Chain A
């Protein structure tokens, strides 16, 4: 059912507006695809899949991104959910204070963290490993996970906890056997968001990975640009690589659009 009832003229106006505006979205897509086919057609795509670019195969860069995304998401889900459960369902000294401080961390600009993280990661011998990017992304994203999962647990009644405790279950058993299974939908939402953010991250991989074989897909956008010259064939190949590097976002969108919408809006600080 339509939310707003409109006259035919208004409807026509609305649709025209959308169609006209969409041309600005279609323009860059057409340009990119058209340029990716210049000179050599689909062979440009064959080329980028069969050749190393800047000393790196495109599969390797996807693989690196995948490792970072999976590592980052797993840690965030575990750490964030455990903490959120405590903040939501348990009474302890300093609960509200610690929670507020963790929420404040949402505001830390990533660029500010670069220098201290650089130093810490060197000390931990993680610099120039995918682990460095994983742990840096975890540190910046876990506050959101805590916020989102706490909002979720707050909406599950406390009575479940009380009855389980009366039945003799420990806190951890209650978490593991009752709350965790109930929170699977929220965990999926959160997981999809973390994967997406990890794929988008540019700053941390650029700063913490100097070894070319560790290049992630997002870094590759930039390193490939340097690897191709300005002749039309190379430019065609570069555009083709951009199309391919954008594919994960499309795939995530196709399969997980719903989860992203749910995740973002449930984590929002609504009043």
Chain B
């Protein structure tokens, strides 16, 4: 703040009142963020305290007779191979989603940017599933992929491809693949990032490439793809984080089964929590560990973001 702003009388503001103003600015700013901080305190800080507190107890969902459990719950979680497996599944599923996004999502965006008759229709078609409730998509596909009466197998049988009609959701190996492949229907958001980033690409670079005789294939993968670095980064990080938030796609398609093969961490927690007489202390311990993993990923992302901002500033 400029210390010598003339006030109405033409005098400059004395030091003392400058400090008073600084103090006032702090108070005003905290009034602005007060609603946010109160939600944060009640729902996030208290939740954290609650989770950590409960994770050292044995208790049920009525939170009635809690007994001290020491670190026993953590030991049990860390000894449960299904816990590791569910986190690993999260990572594999997000890897699958990321792969689909940066291949099919990217290709579709570039091809749709060729603007042909009907391209707006196709854009809508590819995009709308991302807006539908995940529960709806999962329910529809759980019926379509059903073994005996599911539409997909009926379609394959009608084509005479009976040998391809498989137990898509009840064979452990196939179920794993099926739930990943359904991720294809969620390319809407990657498409959005790509098309936003595509508009920032310098057209003269592309024109030069065309003059040099580069075909669509070369332009796409050797020029456009590396230029969309920002979109790739955003997609990778947000997909990774959202995989820890994913729940209904798998819950309503396989429920984590068969034989816990498609169990991601949210399903692991949910199934345990829903079990009769579940030890909430155990669920809290597992939740705390999961939270630490998700926050660690977010922390790395934040560091990248702050670093990127600094680099951009020094370049400017």
Instruction: Answer yes or no: do A and B interact.
Output: yes
Q: Tell me if A200 and B25 are in contact (CB < 8 A).
A: no
The 8 Å CB contact of B215, one of A7, A19, A21, A91, is A7
A-side contacts of B141, CB under 8 Å = 28
Q: How large is the interface on B (under 10, 10 to 19, 20 to 34, 35 or more residues)?
A: 35 or more
Given the contacts A3-B201, A4-B216, A249-B133, A171 and B36 also touching, CB distance less than 8 Å:
no
Residue of B nearest to A81 (CB): B32
State whether A166 touches B5 (Cβ < 8 A). yes
- Bound complex: CA of A47 vs CA of B37, how far in Å? 48
With a cutoff of 8 Å between Cβ atoms, the chain A residues found around residue B92 in the complex are none
Q: Does B96 sit within 8 A of A, measured CB to CB?
A: no
Q: Mark B140-171, 1 if CB is under 8 A from A, else 0.
A: 11001000000110010000000000000000
The docked-state distance in angstroms from the alpha carbon of A31 to that of B141 is 10
Q: Least Cβ distance of A40 to chain B in Å?
A: 18
B131 within 8 A of A: yes
Classify the interface of chain A: helix, strand, loop or mixed.
helix
In the complex, the answer to whether B280 meets A104 with C-beta atoms within 8 Å is no
Q: Taking CB as reference atom, which chain A residue is nearest B230? A: A270
How many A residues have CB within 8 A of the partner chain?
A: 97
The one of A95, A115, A120 in contact with B46, judged by C-beta atoms closer than 8 angstroms, is: A120
How near does chain B come to A56, taking the closest CB pair, in angstroms? Answer: 16
In the complex, number of A-B residue pairs with CB atoms less than 8 Å apart: 275
- Complex interface residues of chain A between 1 and 58 (CB less than 8 A to chain B): 2-7, 10-11, 13-15, 17-19, 21-22, 24-28, 31-32, 35
| Chain B CB within 8 A of A242 CB | yes
Closest B residue to A107 by beta carbon equals B298
Minimum CB–CB distance from B49 to chain A (whole Å) comes to 8
Cβ contact within 8 Å between A4 and B113? yes
Q: How far is B44's CA from A175's CA once the two chains are assembled, in angstroms?
A: 27
Docked pose: A171 CA to B230 CA in angstroms: 35
- Answer whether residue B135 sits at the interface, using C-beta atoms and an 8 A cutoff: yes
Q: Are B32 and A86 in contact (CB under 8 A)?
A: yes
A249's partner among B44, B132, B217, B283 (CB-CB below 8 A) is B132
For residue A219, give the distance in angstroms from its CB to the closest CB of chain B. Answer: 8
B residues in contact with A265, CB < 8 Å:
192-193, 196
| Nearest 4 interchain pairs by C-beta | A271-B308, A107-B298, A116-B47, A86-B32
- Given known contacts A26-B125, A82-B35, A107-B294, what 7 new A-B pairs fall within 8 Å (CB)? A4-B206, A27-B152, A82-B33, A91-B25, A98-B33, A100-B302, A245-B136
